[in-house]
Amino acid sequence: MAGQGEVASVTERVPEVPGEPASDDSANSVLELVGDPTIAEVRLPNRPESARCAREMARTVTESHWGLPGALVDDAVLLVSELVGNAVRHTGAHVFGLRMMRRRDWIRVEVRDPSRGLPCLLPVHGLDTSGRGLFLVDTLCGRWGVDLLPRGKTTWFEMRITGS
């Protein structure tokens, strides 16, 4: 796991890949630079740039390592971005953690932060410009929830892998 000094510069070391998936070499370098969330929790700084880093990690894991279908990869990457965005915007944490797990027929993604404030699924209306994150999570995943910890919480989602 990255030490506190290393966490601050994590997002600066992730290569920029605007608008297209990373090649296997550059994608794998994300995990080499930042850490592999399938092995241990990866700690990221509470900055907006961390959402890009988390998306690249999620894409690399789901696409290159797990070989999941494209639509599932895209949904998982979107939901990771939503949970990370919530952690960055609403928790006041200095760092948060990302963890990804796979079982035979499902994946689980966890975002851990030190806040005990619970996320709230709000009703979404057609013209709303914010507040859609948990609505997307609720709509696209099989199930999601929050586990309160002695010092913080873990917000997670699970997605079923069809055809496995």
Tens-digit pLDDT string for the chain (164 aa): 344 445 445 545 444 443 444 455 555 778 999 999 999 999 999 998 999 999 999 999 999 999 999 999 999 999 999 999 999 988 888 999 999 999 999 999 999 999 999 988 877 766 655 667 888 899 999 999 999 999 999 999 999 998 65
CA-derived radius of gyration, the chain: 15
* DSSP 3-state of 37: coil
For 50, phi then psi, to 5°, come to -65, -25
How far, CA to CA in Å, does 114 sit from each of 12, 60, 72, 132?
23, 26, 29, 23
Cβ atoms within 10 Å of 12's Cβ, excluding its own: 11
Smallest CA-to-CA distance from 107 within 145, 62, 77 is with: 62
Q: Report the distance separating Cα 2 and Cα 33, nearest Å.
A: 10
